[in-house]
Copies of this chain bind each other. A is one copy, B any other.
Amino acid sequence: MKQATQTDVAQAAGVSRATVSYVLNERYNSAMPISTKTKEKVLKAVADLGYNPDARARSLRSGKTQTLGLIIPNLHNPHHWEIVEGVMQKAHKLGYEILFSSSDLESKKEENSIKALFRRSVDGIILLPSFIKLYPKLLQQISELQLPVVTIGCRDIGIDCIGSIDTEATNNAIKHLENLGHKKIGFLVTGENQTSGEDRLYPYFQSLTKNKRALISKQIVRVKSTIEDAYRKSLELLKKDNRPTAIITVNDYFAVGVLRAASDLNINIPEDLSIISFDDILLANFTSPRLTTVRLEAKAVGQGAVTILLNRLNNKNLAIQKERIPAKLIIRESTAQVKL
């Protein structure tokens, strides 16, 4: 049997198509009063026929798709998924669907995702950007598409955003390590063009030029966003004679790679090496040892992103929204007093 259409329902209920529309969109409370009997007739016909309004037609006419685009850099970091979870929960609760895409760390793809994918099939976009260099281009595309966008992770480029307070988070991590007496700290950050490395650690390095820079012998290692590379690079780092007594990684996922590398080299954690990371993914509490990490409230970030985006949809003229979520240090087992 063919799918029932609005016309079928109207005929079955003995009313006009407009009336069906009114009932289904609950217009009867406000401007458009509908008699209870009519309403019931329509509802019955809808149930009988198993009628489901066509989202495309509805969208074409109303201008709203009730769909949000979500783009994340890669599919392997669990932190991203926790964000996705927050986004989906909130979006579904509010009656929005999610058109999902991963940019796979290729800037070309990220571009395409934004452009090709969202030919008015979404009302707005939630973007977890991967490439810093992309930002100017991004801005341009966004204005061309005239689609509201909220980015996860804030930079001052006049776009709605939500993110953790990176400098605060970083300071928490550094301070914890310093309190434990660590002076030789290694840093595992993402590639030069990617966001999380720069955002998270750069403010800290900046501050160093003024004061404690001399105190800390920086050992910065850039890794691709895979656990394999985190493993390989930390293996190299830890094989050096002058290896750090503590490592800060830009995310928990990398920290798992470091854990593995340390284990290969018979380096005990935290006795011989402290590790601290960011995110506090679920897994962080189940590694051996459990990870000391700076919690970034992924789910809240995801939910907040939806809220911000919908605010924008409801009011194009809103001032730029910028929400910062506090980061909290979670001390577990991967950090300890430095050995003398």
A282 near B55: Cβ-Cβ < 8 Å: no
A227 near B60: Cβ-Cβ < 8 Å: no
State the CA gap A102–B101 with chains docked (Å): 15
State the CA gap A161–B115 with chains docked (Å): 32
A268 nearest CB across to chain B (Å): 12
Q: Which of B53, B115, B286 contacts A257 (CB 8 A)?
A: B286
A76 near B263: Cβ-Cβ < 8 Å: no
State the CA gap A109–B121 with chains docked (Å): 24
A282 near B227: Cβ-Cβ < 8 Å: yes
Copies in the complex: 2
Q: Quick check: is A85 within 8 A (CB to CB) of the other chain?
A: yes
Interface residues of A in 43-58 (CB under 8 A from B): 50, 52-57
Interface residues of A in 113-141 (CB under 8 A from B): 115-117, 119-121
A102 nearest CB across to chain B (Å): 6
State the CA gap A174–B163 with chains docked (Å): 47
Interface residues on A, range: 35 or more
Q: Quick check: is A7 within 8 A (CB to CB) of the other chain?
A: no
A81 near B85: Cβ-Cβ < 8 Å: no
Complex contacts, A100 vs chain B, CB 8 Å: 70, 88, 98-100
Interface residues of A in 131-174 (CB under 8 A from B): 144-146
Q: Quick check: is A260 within 8 A (CB to CB) of the other chain?
A: yes
Complex contacts, A97 vs chain B, CB 8 Å: 99, 101, 117, 121
Q: Which of B55, B60, B286 contacts A231 (CB 8 A)?
A: B286
Q: Quick check: is A320 within 8 A (CB to CB) of the other chain?
A: no
B288 near A52: Cβ-Cβ < 8 Å: no
1/0 per position for A11-39, CB-CB distance to B under 8 A? 00000000000000000000000000000
State the CA gap A121–B99 with chains docked (Å): 11
**Residue of B whose beta carbon sits closest to that of A1:** B146
Q: Quick check: is A65 within 8 A (CB to CB) of the other chain?
A: yes
Chosen A-B contacts, 5 in total, with CB atoms closer than 8 Å, are: A52-B116, A52-B119, A56-B59, A92-B101, A256-B286
Q: Which residues of A contact B (CB under 8 A)?
A: 3, 50, 52-57, 59-60, 65, 67, 70, 75-76, 78, 81-82, 84-85, 88, 92, 97-102, 115-117, 119-121, 144-146, 226-228, 231, 256-257, 259-260, 263, 282-283, 286-288
Which 4 pairs between the two chains have the least Cβ-Cβ distance? A100-B100, A55-B121, A52-B119, A260-B286
